[in-house]
Amino acid sequence: MSASRLLAALCTAAALTGMAGAQATAAPAAAPVADFPFDGQGADDAPNRGADPGDRAAEYGGNLAAEIIDLLADAAKCGLAVATPAVQCPL
């Protein structure tokens, strides 16, 4: 028997042996759907999540932005107060 025929016979035997031992298995049971936080589907989500993003930003951080702008304007006024006495420094 030649080497190629011997190799073909061994591969065929190995393939047939592997297919004979294969068994069908059942699919895993479906896991229950969990309620994840902040998924938009549960009662534990953030309040006002469905509100307009602009309204939420104004509610949670609108005053912070205004305070930062006021601080920068006051700092600019203090810089001008060094150069000219006509401008008062509010800080």
pLDDT tens-digit map of 14-56:
666 655 555 667 777 777 667 676 666 666 666 656 667 777 7
> What is the rounded average pLDDT for all residues in the chain?
75
The percent of residues in the chain predicted with pLDDT above 90, rounded, is 12
* Residue 46 CB contacts under 8 Å (≥ 6 apart), including other chains: 38
Question: Rounded to two decimals, what is the model's pTM?
Answer: 0.37
pLDDT at 35 (0 to 100): 67
3-state secondary structure of 68: helix
Higher pLDDT, 64 or 37: 64
